[in-house]
Each structure stands twice: as structure tokens, then as C-alpha cells.
């Protein structure tokens, strides 16, 4: 049985859970991380000395890093519609994946942490202006891409590039702060919601 170690509200764990549902892989999940058992616990450290979620075990093989796990699952299930075999197309898919996990997510993280993780009262928390400005800049880039080449990042076809991106987009719309109108991103958010796996692990009421 494919086993996932990590809390279900972690954005990186959610990438893996979404992908598992996309490929139809049954799994078990154990809560680890913030709010649950700490990843510094020796039991977790035996799985991965890096001490971060997610960690997965498949047939006795331990894997870490959400982006790598998503790609592994696509290859395992030969879902070349999600992870094309053409090298140039694949490189573009991976480029958008890595952008979403670095530039886009790094911009979103300070806002999320200020409003939810570190806020004494999330209902009255105020988003940091500099964080909103940086995140908005990257979201505007996404909007331009989708307006030019959408409805998905790679055009008409949903790919694994949309998984890390779609989770940050969910966080954008789930947090309450003044934000620019991005029509292509809004349409993308609704298009992703047509996928049952996204409704379960992405647009599910959790930022």
C-alpha cells in the first residue's frame, strides 16, 4: 500500500494527495507535521533525516520532495497525458512546476504565515503590504500566461504543472485581502474545480 506521511492541510502534501487521486492510486496517510506529531521525532527521522513532509513509502522505497513524488506517480502510472514524454514539452511542464514551487509559493508564503500561521486572531489578521505586492506580481504573470495560452498552463491539456500552481491559486482566493482582478486566473480556478481531485484536495475550504 502506498503510504503518505504528512498532514492533509500541508500544501506540499496536498500536491501528492491530488496526484494520487488523479492516477487512482489507493493510499494510507498518517498525520505528521505542524499541529500533529513533530517531524523531529526519531520515528519520522528514520524515514527521512530531512524532517519535512511529505514523505511517502511505495513498495518499501522511501521518497521525499512533493514535486519529485508527483513526477514519480505520473511515470509509474504512465500518465503521459499529465507528464508528456516529449523532452521539450516535458521541460516546459517542469519549468512551470518549479516556478510554482519557488517564485510563486515563496511570494505567497509570507502572506499566508502572517494571516494564518502566526496570527493571534486569523479573523482580524492583516496581510503585509509588501508580501501582497510581491505575490500579486507573480499572480499577474500567471494571469498573462493563462490569457495567452490557457485554459491550463500548457494550453488545452491539464498537466502536472497545474498541481502546484493550482494549490497556490486556491490559497490566493481563500485568503481575504485586497487583491487585483485577474480574470484568466479566476477562470482557471473554476476550470480546475471541475476536477474531483482538486475539489477534494485543493478547493476544499482550506487555504
Give how many domains the chain has, as a whole number.
Answer: 2
Q: What is the CATH number of the domain that holds 185?
A: 1.20.1050.10
The residue ranges of the chain whose pLDDT is under 70 are: none
What pLDDT, on a 0 to 100 scale, did the predictor assign at position 151? 97
**Among 50, 76, 102, which residue terminates a domain?**
76
Q: Which grid cell is 138?
A: 507573480
* 172 and 97 share one domain: yes
Same domain, 67 and 94: no
The reply to whether 193 and 92 lie within a common domain is yes
- Look at the block and give the residue holding cell 519529485: 68
pLDDT for position 122: 86
**Which residue, 45, 76, 107, sits at the end of a domain?**
76
Q: Are residues 72 and 123 in the same domain?
A: no
95/72 same-domain check: no
The answer to whether residue 17 is domain-embedded is yes
> Quick one: cell of 140?
499577474
Q: What is the DSSP string of the chain?
A: -EEEES-TT-HHHHHHHHHHHHHT--EEEE--STTSS-TTSHHHHHH-TT--S-EEEETTEEEE-HHHHHHHHHHHTT-TTTS-SSHHHHHHHHHHHHHIIIIIHHHHHHHHIIIIIS-S-GGG----HHHHHHHHHHHHHHHHHHHHH-SBTTBSS--TTHHHHHHHHHHHHHS-S-----HHHHHHHHHHTTSHHHHHHTSSS--
So what's the pLDDT on residue 63?
A: 98
Same domain, 129 and 55: no
Tell me, yes or no, whether 121 lies in a domain. Answer: yes
Same domain assignment for residues 110 and 148: yes
The residue range of the domain holding 175 is 87-201
- On whether both 113 and 181 belong to a single domain, the answer is yes
Query: Are residues 62 and 94 both part of a single domain?
Result: no
Orientation of helix 162-174 relative to helix 11-23, angle to 10°: 130
Q: Is residue 181 part of a domain?
A: yes
In a domain, 8, yes or no: yes
Instruction: Indicate the length of the chain as a whole number.
Output: 207
The pTM (predicted TM-score) of the whole model is 0.97
What CATH number corresponds to the domain at position 55?
Answer: 3.40.30.10
Amino acid at each position: 500500500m502506498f503510504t503518505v506521511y504528512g498532514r492533509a492541510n500541508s500544501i506540499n502534501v496536498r500536491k501528492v494527495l491530488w496526484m494520487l487521486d488523479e492516477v487512482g492510486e489507493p493510499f494510507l496517510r498518517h498525520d505528521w507535521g505542524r499541529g500533529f506529531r513533530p517531524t523531529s521525532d526519531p520515528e519520522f527521522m528514520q524515514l527521512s533525516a530531512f524532517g519535512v513532509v511529505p514523505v511517502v513509502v511505495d513498495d518499501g522505497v522511501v521518497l521525499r520532495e512533493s514535486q519529485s513524488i508527483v513526477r514519480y506517480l505520473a511515470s509509474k502510472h504512465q500518465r503521459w497525458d499529465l507528464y508528456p514524454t516529449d523532452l521539450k514539452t516535458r521541460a516546459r511542464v517542469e519549468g512551470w512546476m518549479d516556478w510554482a514551487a519557488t517564485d510563486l509559493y515563496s511570494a505567497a508564503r509570507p502572506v499566508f504565515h502572517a494571516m494564518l500561521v502566526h496570527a493571534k486572531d486569523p479573523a482580524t489578521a492583516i496581510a503585509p503590504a509588501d508580501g501582497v505586492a510581491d505575490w500579486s506580481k507573480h499572480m499577474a504573470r500567471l494571469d498573462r500566461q493563462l490569457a495567452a495560452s490557457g485554459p491550463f498552463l500548457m494550453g488545452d491539456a491539464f498537466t502536472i504543472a497545474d498541481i502546484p500552481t493550482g494549490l497556490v491559486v486556491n490559497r490566493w482566493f481563500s485568503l481575504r485581502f485586497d487583491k487585483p482582478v485577474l480574470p484568466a486566473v479566476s477562470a482557471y480556478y473554476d476550470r480546475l474545480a471541475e476536477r474531483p481531485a482538486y475539489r477534494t484536495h485543493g478547493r476544499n475550504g482550506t487555504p
